[in-house]
Amino acid sequence: MTLPHKSLRTEAFINQAKLDVDLAVALYSLVKDKADLGLLGSRPQLYCPAIYAYCQQAIEKALKAWLCHSQGKIPMDHNPLKLVLESSDMKKPGRPTHLDMIDRKRRYLDSILDMAPGAGMPRNATREKRLSKPNTEYPYAEGDRVVLPSSGIGFPDVNAALHESWPLVEAIRKYIEAQNLSPR
């Protein structure tokens, strides 16, 4: 099998990143609409790891694409998402990043479950636990509609999490568009 020329592979990678960022943007908009309509439920301190994981992957892929373009390679020896978050204006002194917050919430929920008298799940955390397995795949193709797993309830803090990462998503999208890397 002949591998595509490096530039073609790079272009495909960047196109996929552009698509992923678009989907993250669409997902954010959907969730934001729900928040604006007051449909996000009554427990905003929980979050939906599956949706967040998807958006995080989209951001990471876009960053890799950006590094791929700007440096001519994808650095494998560090996490580009972490690199940018740590160095960007988004990380204010003394303030935890959204990744820190997600980790804290996950540990919190795990610890709560440790305190359960039986194997039962809290009535008000069942959904979050069920969705706690990160979505590690990209199940969408171009032209697919982004459909939330359920409407109306159960996506409490995803809005806050996405809101924090939103400037980064938008900046990457604009950068990719400005470079005319993805003629769509």
Partner 1 sequence: MSVYVDMYHDRVKDLVEKHLSITRNGKLLLAVWYDRDNEKGDVNLFEVYEDFPDPGMGKLETFMFPSSSAFPMKGDLRLTITSPSELREAAERGDTILKSIQESPDLEVIYPEGGDLTTILREMSR
Q: Contact residues for partner 1 (CB under 8 A)?
A: 43, 45, 96, 101, 104-105, 107-108, 110-112, 114-125
Q: In this structure, what token pair is assigned to residue 60?
A: 């990471």
Q: Is the dihedral of CA 128, 36, 146, 152 positive or negative?
A: positive
Q: How far is residue 79's CA from residue 68's CA, in Å, rounded to a whole number?
A: 13
Q: How far is residue 5's CA from residue 53's CA, in Å, rounded to a whole number?
A: 31
Residue 165 · residue 56 · CB < 8 Å: yes
CB of 64 to partner 1, least distance (A): 29
CB of 30 to partner 1, least distance (A): 24
Q: Which is nearer to partner 1, 11 or 128 (CB)?
A: 128
Q: Which is nearer to partner 1, 2 or 111 (CB)?
A: 111
DSSP 8-state class, residue 38: T
Q: Which is nearer to partner 1, 118 or 143 (CB)?
A: 118
Q: Which is nearer to partner 1, 16 or 132 (CB)?
A: 132
Residue 150 · residue 126 · CB < 8 Å: no
Q: Which is nearer to partner 1, 96 or 134 (CB)?
A: 96
Q: Residue 98 belongs to what H/E stretch?
A: helix 98-114
Q: How far is residue 109's CA from residue 139's CA, in Å, rounded to a whole number?
A: 27
